[in-house]
Amino acid sequence: MNSSVCPVDATEELLHECENIWKEMEKCQSKLTLLTAEPVPESDAKVLLLLTRMQALRAEYYQWQKRNPELVSTNPEVLLLLGEEELQEVKKELEMVLSAVQSKNEKLKEDLEREQQWHDELVQIVNAFKETEEEMKKEVVTDSEKRLFQELKNQMSELREYKKKLLNALGEFLEEHFPLPEKNGNAKKKRYSEEPCEQVITMHEILEILLNQLMSTPHKPYVTVDDSFWPPYVELLLRSGIVLRHPEDPDRIRLEAFHE
> Measuring CA to CA, which residue among 157, 155, 199, 156 is closest to residue 181?
199
Calpha distance 180→185 (Å, rounded): 10
Q: What is the pLDDT of residues 73-129, one digit of tens each?
A: 667 777 788 788 888 988 999 999 898 888 888 888 888 888 888 888 888 988 988
Please state, in angstroms and rounded to a whole number, the distance separating the CA atoms of residues 260 and 237. Answer: 19
Q: How far apart are CA 29 and CA 18, in angstroms?
A: 16
Domain ranges of the chain: 7-29+73-100, 178-260
Name the pairing type of β-strands 243-245 and 223-224. Answer: unpaired
Q: What whole-number percentage of the chain has pLDDT above 90? A: 6
> What is the 3-state secondary structure of 52-95?
HHHHHHHHHHHHHHHCCCCCCCCCHHHHHHHHHHHHHHHHHHHH
Contact 14, 73 (CB under 8 A): yes
**For the CA atoms of 112, 114, 115, 116, what is the dihedral angle to 10 degrees?**
80
Distance (Å, rounded) from C-alpha 151 to C-alpha 15?
87
The model's pTM:
0.36
pLDDT score, position 27: 77
Question: Is-contact 231 196, C-beta < 8 A?
Answer: no
Is a pLDDT exceeding 90 seen at residue 222?
yes
CA–CA separation, 135 vs 18, rounded Å? Answer: 90
Per this entry, what is the length of the chain?
A: 260
Q: For 185-204, give one letter per residue: b (16+ CB within 10 A) or e.
A: eeeeeeeeeeebeeebbbbb
